[in-house]
Structure 1
Amino acid sequence: MDEHESLVEVSKRPNVNLQVLPFRAETYTTASFPFIVLRFGTDSSSDVIYSEDYRDAVYLDRPDDVKAYSRLWDDLRAAALGPEESRRLIVELANEFEGSGSQ
């Protein structure tokens, strides 16, 4: 099974939500750094943000920080393709890549 096939199959699981943010997406919000919103249970009031940079990693739990990152995450998800569109794009790009003879 190719990597894109695995990705497509995993994206069909009920606990996975895969969304692709294409380069052409019309959004003013960008994130050029990794971050994770950690949620413990269903209550978002205890969310913690985990972020990394070149030299360090930080955990942010101040309400203003959590709110800013949560807003960023919501903006990125809104600009991304939906799950079905994302799967179609992955398959389409994989087929183009395979058809070009690239490995």
Structure 2
Amino acid sequence: MTIVYLLYIFGTDGCWDVGAHFFVSSEDSDTISEALKIVRRFALHWKPRYFLQDQSNVEENSIKLAFPGLKNGETIFCTVHLLRTWMNKIYDVNTRKKMIQAM
């Protein structure tokens, strides 16, 4: 199985564009962090401020390995993935309604 990752950049024109992409055959922290390090070699002046990621420990660990200076809080989880996880884990209907209302 091949997994595709897209790295978007926020351009000076105020738009999001694909800055890079990579394919990996194994979705583990070491593999993904190596791919991120390779992308960094092509963009020597790239200093990312934030990462928006799926709710994945693998991705979070990969980012920390590839960008050790990145502070906590600069990795942001996608709310769509968070909501999906909550909906799968919250079985009580009233609690689920409160969570949806809060979002």
Q: Determine if the TM-score, normalized by the shorter chain, exceeds 0.5.
A: no
Q: Which structure has the higher relative contact order (CA within 8 Å, separation 6+)?
A: 1
TM superposition score category, shorter chain reference? under 0.3
